[in-house]
Structure 1
Amino acid sequence: MSEQDFYEVEPTQEETTAETADTSDHDDKDEYEQICYICHRPERVAGKMIKIPGGICICADCMQKTFDTMNYSGISMDDMMNMSNLNNLNNNGKMPNISMINLSDLQGFMPNQQKIKKKKKSEQKKPMLDIKSIPAPHKIKASLDEYIVGQEHAKKVMSVAVYNHYKRVAADTDDGIEIEKSNMLMIGPTGSGKTYMVKTLAKLLDVPLAITDATSLTEAGYIGDDIESVVSKLLAAADNDVERAEHGIIFIDEIDKIAKKKNTNQRDVSGESVQQGMLKMLEGAEVEVPVGASSKNAMVPMMTVNTRNILFICGGAFPDLEEIIKERLNKEASIGFKADLKDKYDKEENLLTKVLVEDVRKYGMIPEFLGRLPILFSLEALTEDMLVRILTEPKSAIVKQYQKLLAMDEVKLVFEDDALHAIAAKAKEKKVGARALRAIIEDFMLDIMYEIPKDDNIGMVTITKDYIEGKGGPLITMRGCMELEDKEAVI
């Protein structure tokens, strides 16, 4: 025996690197379930996989079908076994013009976004939600206040509903008392902050969120997205983790677009049919969805998601709903000597705050659908003062964004109060809510953002009311003048 056998031989750097790569590759494979290459079913559905050279996995069912097909096709097994060498095959002349598939080229045929994560044993015992970790309603509202201006009633309703929902998820049902879901229907004029409020809420709670439009949804079998596609988006947002997705939030915007169509003789495939198809999903059902794709026809694995603990929030502008509310209010107050005038509600901006379930039903939403959205609330129309506050108060206010941009050029940006009110007045005229603010400021800041970097002597830019109204330009202050002003202020 040689002397070298008595000592451990240290691995070379190349060997260590190769071992590390193999370990990381092994960990990556352990994280995801194996998928059958032929039927695309995951391991938990299809059973134990058979591995063949090239890193390809095939389930037992597909392997058996393959053998059955070969037995009935007339090709002998001996010929199939001799196919390993293409050159020998072509030289022998048995099966000319047939190219063999190199299985090593098929490794990694499915991207991670279409793979399903394994359930870890340690995570199965650990509860997904703890009642102590759920923030109280006043804390949820306080966090929303930092980002959203006004809408006090809407923020209060949403905070309580979300708190109760996650208490329901964490609650024990051994006593036989089962708490019902608190799905929400949010009504508000365009640009009032419906989507932004839901996005902020999901970010604060750190739960997966899927936002989708109801406009693309159609009845199964017709061109458009199937109803289950909204759950598929949530699964993608949860990184294909089914347990995490089952505690997420789905926000369906433009829900008013699936109202029943009036005076139509054709099949309503994108209206009432979609509402009926969503009933079971809103209440809680086992939904089979494609992983990493929006269509069931794609060759991707399918996964079952239980929507029982998913919070659904539906939102819409509901145009012309004010007319239905006005008609109801006029009927209630137009009898007798002290009857109100019929034009009493014509100029009222926040008429949507008086909405009732019967108004939404008359708009075209079926009663069964509304019954599964028990919490109905509306957002206020934005006033000029609210628009001014939106410009300056939130953490990511538009004015603060531009001040940060110019601060990178060492220039101070100041908006006068009159200028802010002039911008809000212009946005109010456009009747598209807070969305108009960004467009208006972009227009006025274009020349400033273009000219400022040319001159390093500029120290401050002041936006005035005259500049917003087109009567003058912004006030430019040079750096020397700014230093003099600072000295005078100190004296």
Structure 2
Amino acid sequence: MFDYETMTPKQLVAELDKYIIGQDEAKRAVAVALRNRVRRGRLPEAMRDEVSPKNIIMVGSTGVGKTEIARRLTKLSGAPFIKVEATKFTEVGYVGRDVESMVRDLMNAAISLVKAEMEKNIQAEAEKRTYDRLLDLLLPGTKSHHKEQSEEDEPPRISLLSENEEAQESEEAVIARTRAKLLERIKSGQMDDHKVELSSKGGKGGSIMPGVEVFPVGLGGMGDGPDFSDMGQQISSQISAMFGGGKKKVVSVKRAYNILMQEEREQLIDQDAVIEIAKERVERRGIIFIDEIDKIISSGSNKQGGEVSREGVQRDILPIVEGSMVNTKYGMIDTTYILFIAAGAFSNSKPSDLIPELQGRFPIRVQLEEMSVAMFEQILIKPQNAITQQYIELLKTEDLFIEFDESAIKRIAEIAYEENRLQENIGARRLHNILERILETLSFEATDRGGEHILIDATYVDRELKTKEREANDLGKYVL
């Protein structure tokens, strides 16, 4: 995870360049927007409140990199980040997701982010406590010193030491050595399949009472009310706590370790601190990527039914982008300084077709380039996660070694460009479709062809694609 607060715009663009070909204008705009968040934080408080985020609209057809830029931002930003689709929302008064849910989702993402960071700091202590509890389950007669247990309830003590060893040492030393030997077995995995009896807990850090499920009623369009998204889980946890937890169950040591580890993490982490830090990060550094924003533009002057609802969604998004207080289960969230990045193909519309008030809240507009043959060639080989390299590594797991020469790369790029021109333009996604067709036979036969080395050139590409085209035509005779 990178921390964009220490990265310059040039460094941010350099990181994006490792995965995204071209689209320099979009990458620069995003890098500057992120850096401006850092600059704002360094201003005097009076001035800081006057500086609002410079929200961005990215315009470009499908498959040109809009979503990939958003995905990479998630890894680079180190800030709470979510991607939502504008088409998933409905206007207040209609059944469906209200637009305020995007802020609640962002807060949930921030909670997960902060908890993950805190878990790293308490990992060692959580592991120690977890192993102590596992030893208590496996050797109930040798409770660790921090556990309390009445003598009358104490089961017979189990020892891994010989009688001579026990006779020569005090009881405390015998217990310590027994637990130490068993701990070695647990850590080495020798005890993974051994069964232990575990009590499920209600409330904080535990599971809800078995057999009880509560399904909250959907309250679509109730954006101004409280957050009911986790009502079912909360009620179930309260019922479980009222009845003193759950029932005992027998699980493997490996499974018990995971359950107990999660409980100990929950116990060691200050939940109030998590919420406070997450809330501050959302309000100061949060980023929401709204995809397909062009799909909520009304198409024409005669607005009826769904057309009205689309414009209604825009009007519902407006106050959140402008800055408003949104109610979540963690408290009220101020959206004033959240950075919004919108994206859309705008094939049948343009950004100026959005309602004027919403347009004004996205002052930066970036036009992404259409994919060319040269860009396709670069996409196939240059990024760290290049799709040709992905296929090479996948087949290598079966000891089948393939190699793409320059003629194959050029031919695949040319075919992708031509198919996008003649059929629906799906941008770089066309490359995945073509490579699947080229490598389908090899992928199917890989387990039987281990040890082979295959060079994929332009001739191989043409032969495989013609074969697939012929098979598709033959199959078409039987399709009504």
Q: TM-score, normalised by structure 2?
A: 0.57
8 Å contact from structure 1 (residues 134, 163) kept in 2: no
Q: Compare the two structures and name the one with the higher helix fraction.
A: 2
Matching of residue 219 in structure 1 with residue 91 in structure 2: yes
**Which of the residues 392, 398, 414 maps onto 1:403?**
392
Q: Provide the residue aligned with 1:254 in structure 2.
A: 292
Structure 1 unmatched runs, 5+: 1-129, 290-300, 322-358, 475-491
Query: What's the CA shift for 1:278?
Result: 1.5
* Paired residues, number: 294
Aligned to 1:370: 359
Residue 310 (1) aligns with residue 335 (2): no
- Structure 1 residue 152 corresponds to structure 2 residue 24: yes
CA apart distance, 1:269: 4.2
- Alignment-derived partner of residue 459 in structure 2: 466
- More divergent stretch after superposition (430-439 vs 169-178): 169-178
1:157, distance to aligned residue in structure 2 (A) = 1.7
SS of the residue 2:95 aligns to = coil
Alignment equivalent of 2:351, drawn from 344, 357, 360: 360
Name the counterpart of 2:175: none
DSSP 3-state at the match of 1:270? helix
Q: Distance in 2 between matches of 1:447 and 1:176?
A: 60
Name 2:260's counterpart in structure 1. Answer: none
For the Cα contact (< 8 Å) 2:5–2:38, is it kept in 1?
no
Kindly indicate whether residue 437 of structure 2 is the aligned counterpart of residue 443 of structure 1: yes
Structure 1 residues 269 and 210: CA distance shift in structure 2, 3 A:
farther
The aligned runs of 1:20-419 (5 Å cut-off) are 133-175=5-47, 178-239=50-111, 241-246=278-283, 247-266=285-304, 268-289=307-328, 301=329, 303-321=331-349, 360-361=351-352, 364-419=353-408
CA distance in 2, matches of 1:204, 1:245: 16
Contact 1:261–1:271 (CA under 8 A) maintained in structure 2: no
User: Which moved further from structure 2: 172-181 or 444-453?
Assistant: 172-181
Q: Does the 8 Å CA contact 2:57/2:343 hold for their aligned counterparts? A: yes
Contact 1:466–1:472 (8 Å) recurs in 2: no
Code of the residue aligned with 1:245 in structure 2: it is: V
**Aligned partner letter, 2:435:** I
Q: SS at the partner of 1:238? A: helix
Runs of at least 5 residues in structure 2 that lack an aligned partner in the other structure? 113-277, 468-480
Which deviations, in whole Å up to 9, do the C-alpha atoms of 1:369-390 show, x marking residues without a partner? 1100011111100101101110
CA distances 1:113-137 after superposition (whole Å, capped 9, x unpaired): xxxxxxxxxxxxxxxxx9x933111
Cα deviation digits, residues 11-50 of structure 1 (max 9, x gap): xxxxxxxxxxxxxxxxxxxxxxxxxxxxxxxxxxxxxxxx
Q: For residue 176 of structure 1, report the CA deviation from its aligned partner.
A: 7.4
CA contact (8 A) 1:254 1:316 kept: yes
Which residue identity is paired with 2:279? V
What displacement does 1:405 show?
1.6
Per-residue displacement from partner, 1:464-488 (whole Å, max 9, x unpaired)?
Answer: 21222127999xxxxxxxxxxxxxx
Name the CA distance, whole Å, in 1 between partners of 2:88 and 2:414.
35
- Aligned-pair Cα RMSD in Å: 2.5
Q: What is the distance in 2 between the residues matched to 1:175 and 1:421? A: 53
2:185 alignment counterpart: none
Separation in structure 2 between the aligned mates of residue 370 and residue 473 of structure 1, nearest angstrom = 48
Q: Give the secondary-structure state (helix, strand or coil) at the position aligned to 1:211.
A: strand
In the TM superposition, what whole-angstrom CA distance separates every residue of 1:38-66 from its partner, at most 9, and x where no partner exists?
xxxxxxxxxxxxxxxxxxxxxxxxxxxxx
Aligned residue identity for 1:263: S
- Report the residue type matching 1:421 in the other structure: K
The whole-number CA distance in structure 1 between the counterparts of 2:446 and 2:106 is 44
Deviation at residue 308 of structure 1 after TM alignment: 1.7
Q: How much does 1:275 deviate?
A: 1.4
1:461/1:317 CA distance change after superposition, 3 Å: same
1:377 aligned counterpart, secondary structure: strand
Specify whether residues 406 and 180 from structure 1 end up closer, same or farther in structure 2 by C-alpha distance, changes over 3 A only. Answer: same
Q: Deviations over 1:212-245 (max 9, x none)?
A: 1111212111022111011122122122632233
Q: Please give the alpha-carbon distance, in whole angstroms, between the structure 1 residues aligned to 2:365 and 2:399.
A: 48
- The residue aligned with 1:434 is 428
Larger deviation, residues 168-177 vs 441-450: 168-177
> Residues 177, 249 of structure 1: CA spacing in aligned structure 2 closer, same or farther, 3 A cutoff?
closer
| Mapping 1:448-459, distance limit 5 Å | 448-458=442-452
1:172 Cα offset (Å): 2.6
2:413 is aligned with 1:424: yes
Tell me how far 1:391 sits from its aligned partner: 0.8
**Counterpart AA for 1:315:** A
> Equivalent residue of 2:309, what SS?
coil
Supply the distance in 1 between the matched residues of 2:330 and 2:73 (Cα, whole angstroms). 29
Shift of 1:440: 1.2
Q: Give the 3 Å change call, closer, same or farther, for CA 454–224 of structure 1 in structure 2.
A: same
| Alpha-carbon shift at residue 180 of structure 1 (Å) | 2.4
Counterpart AA for 1:414: E
Q: What is the CA-CA distance between 1:185 and the residue it aligns to?
A: 0.6
Instruction: Please state how far the C-alpha of 1:367 moved relative to its aligned partner.
Output: 1.2
Give the TM-score, by structure 1 length: 0.56
8 A Cα contact 1:165 1:182, kept in partner? no
Shift of 1:255: 0.2
Residue 45 of structure 2 aligns to a residue in which SS?
Answer: coil
